[in-house]
Amino acid sequence: MFKRSIGLATLIAISMLVFFTVVQNLTFEKASAQSKPTITKLVVKPAKPKAPAPVIYGIKTDSLAIVEATVKRGENLSEILDNYNISLTTISELAKKSREVFNVRRISANRNYTILHLPDSGKTAQYFIYEPSETEYVIYDLRGELNVTLEQRKVDTVERAVAGIIQNSLFDALIEAGGSAQLVNHFADIYAWRLDLNRIQPGDKFKLIYDEHVVNGQTIGFGKIKSAYFEHEGKELYAIGFQQGKSTGYYDQEGKSLKRAFLREPLEYSRVSSRFSKKRFHPVQKRYKPHLGTDFAARYGTPIRTVGDGVVVEAKYNRGNGYYVKIKHNKTYTTQYLHMSKFARGVRAGSRVKQGQTIGYVGSTGLATGPHLCYRFWKNGRQVDALRVKLPSADPVSKKHLNEFEQLKEATINQMQAINYDGKQQELLASGKQESQKGA
Ligand SMILES: [Zn+2]
């Protein structure tokens, strides 16, 4: 490893090095990395083979220098290329040529670009490559003819897993495990119907298998959660993403949908201003009478969602209710929405609606003191408290798809059991094909 002709000083240094090596049980490389300049000098680095110039954006950079930068605020192409020996005439020619491919006016701040220039004194640019998004790049070829091409990057989908044990909140634990806020939201949505996220306990556990979109090894976004696992106070609840027929949903280990047939509330963000009650002082009529609905205070125009799939049986106006919509969900359940400012487009008697669909907008038509939604819920013809009624689950896996589901479930459970709670994001290879793990 060492040169033969070494001086006294270096000899001393070597003995020091040996000493350190023995005492600290370090390799030479480690010792040299420990910032001891005299020693570092001695380590003869193996002659590095000249690394081949990288190929970037499909361009060989052998004889080119690479400059990577980000477009500054207010900066345009001619300002950028001005530093790289490109004349204004060339730039305006380039602008003309690029119009149909990627107009240079669309070059905007904070996006990355790369310049490949000659190693001459003028740093004459040969290529300007601009990245309008993570998945696209535009090559402005500045040599001779001037060519502009827009290229798409290959987006890979990688299956990943995260797992964790909750100490403070699900959010903290999932982020710590390598997840994102987006993933937390999606996870919360999946379990929202079956789990009160406010009641999560320290020690509760989660596992998640999801898709991540990757370009050049860099994550550019999350795909959907394929399956999830949650352990609350020792009870296991799987969420297995499964498609039956045209609809996709998450089902537990018994094949039951994690969703309810009804949303708990018809407004996404609102405040209950008056609850269901057998006896309430009516603010307009100034007398006690039953209030067989739930009032939600909200701004004018807030979208009102139908809480479940169904058929509109009434969409009309009367003096008390103002504009209102009544929806029959099935032979057991009917809901009604009052005091709307207007109906959503296409909502009329006879129209079919899907859970979560906007059917109208908050207003104060009819007997109302201010903008609010009065929401009414019937079960078997009787008005009940929508906030207290036990809501039925959405349809389970059908008999027809049960076999297929059982297979997916088995594969998912095996996959989940192979994930450990080490707090690190894990990449899943050969996912879903770990049949051999069964019963382990
Ligand atoms: Zn009301």
pLDDT of residue 423: 59
Task: Give the pLDDT of residue 391.
Answer: 86
Q: What is the 162 CA–ligand 1 centroid distance (Å)?
A: 45
Coil, strand or helix at 33? helix
- Closest residue by Cα to residue 219 from 281, 282, 156, 145: 156
Instruction: Tell me the pTM.
Output: 0.59
What per-residue confidence (pLDDT) applies to 48?
55
What is the model's pLDDT at position 153? 87
Exposed (0-12), middle (13-18) or buried (19+): which is 89, by Cβ within 10 Å? exposed
Contact in structure between 105 and 123 (CB atoms under 8 Å): no
Angle at CA of residue 264, ends 261 and 265, nearest 5°? 125
Mean pLDDT of successive 10-residue segments in the chain (440 residues)?
Answer: 46 46 38 38 52 82 92 92 93 91 91 95 94 92 92 90 91 89 89 81 93 85 91 92 90 93 87 86 76 94 95 96 96 96 96 95 94 96 93 90 96 92 64 33
Q: Using CA atoms, how far apart are residues 185 and 225, in angstroms rounded to an integer?
A: 11
The pLDDT value recorded for residue 424 is 64
Give Cα separations from 426 to 146, 237, 334 (angstroms). Answer: 45, 21, 46
> How many Å lie between the centroid of ligand 1 and the Cα of residue 269?
17
- What amino acid is encoded at 89 in this protein? T
211, 157 contact by CB (below 8 A): yes
Residue 307 burial (CB < 10 Å; 0-12/13-18/19+)? Answer: buried
Taking the centre of ligand 1 as the mean of its atom positions, its distance from the CA of residue 346, in whole angstroms, is: 25
294 alpha carbon to ligand 1 midpoint, in Å? 5
pLDDT the model gives residue 47 = 56
All residues with CB under 5 Å from ion ligand 1: 293, 295, 374
pLDDT of residue 268: 86
With H, G, I as helix, E, B as strand and everything else as coil, classify residue 82: helix
In order of their start, the domains of the chain are: 8-42 (no CATH), 55-152 (3.10.450.350), 156-259+393-440 (3.10.450.350), 271-384 (2.70.70.10)
Structure confidence at residue 5 (pLDDT): 44
C-beta of residue 285 within 8 angstroms of C-beta of residue 367:
yes
What spacing in Å lies between the alpha carbon of 275 and ligand 1's midpoint?
Answer: 8
Ligand 1 centroid, distance to 58 Cα (angstroms): 65
291 CA to middle of ligand 1, Å? 6
Residue 228's pLDDT is what?
97
Å from CA of 374 to ligand 1 middle:
4
Distance in Å, CA 372 to ligand 1 centroid: 8
d(CA 297, CA 274): 9
